[in-house]
């Protein structure tokens, strides 16, 4: 195998890991599992929601625990990963359904998650969503 081929295999492996991390992230949100999310999110994590609300790690995890927020389904598609050394950016489309304070909602939007390989593991350090359809 040439050096370029070895580099591409390693990059493909990391891309696959990030896609798995995205799926685990969604499962943790649907299952209201802040412990799993806490392990996946960097200390200085920033989340920018479709409505412009910005949350740090503590606020993001508190929102997952909020009993008024009930995420029923979350699916991803059209995922693309771009690698930059020990960082990766995952973009795609999400579709969520659930209720908030008893009122149903359904969102379709785009997301961008920035992941950094640090302390021997991948951690999401920034997430941003934009609505396509509400």
In whole numbers, what is the pLDDT of the chain averaged over residues?
90
Note the pLDDT of residue 132. 92
Could you state, in order of their start, the residue ranges of all structural domains in the chain?
Answer: 3-133
pLDDT digits (tens, 9 = 90+) for 76-122: 999 999 999 999 999 999 999 999 888 999 999 999 999 999 989 99
- Indicate if the pLDDT at residue 10 is higher than 80: no
CATH number of 3-133: 3.10.450.50
Report the candidate in 83, 64, 82, 87 with the shortest Cα–Cα distance to residue 74.
64
Confidence of residue 6 (pLDDT cuts 50, 70, 90): very low
User: Whole-angstrom Cα distance, residue 107 to residue 76?
Assistant: 12
């Amino acid at each position: 195998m040439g050096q370029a081929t070895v580099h591409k295999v390693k990059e493909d492996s990391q891309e696959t890991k990030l896609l798995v991390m995205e799926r685990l992230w969604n499962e943790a949100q649907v299952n209201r599992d802040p412990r799993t999310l806490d392990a996946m999110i960097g200390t200085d994590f920033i989340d920018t929601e479709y409505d412009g609300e910005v949350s740090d790690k503590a606020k993001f995890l508190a929102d997952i625990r909020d009993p008024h927020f009930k995420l029923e389904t979350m699916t991803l598609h059209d995922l693309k990963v771009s690698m930059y050394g020990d960082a990766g950016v995952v973009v795609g489309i999400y579709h969520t359904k659930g209720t908030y304070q008893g009122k149903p909602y359904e969102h379709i939007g785009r997301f961008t998650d920035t992941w950094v390989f640090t302390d021997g593991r991948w951690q999401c350090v920034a997430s941003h969503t934009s609505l396509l359809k509400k």
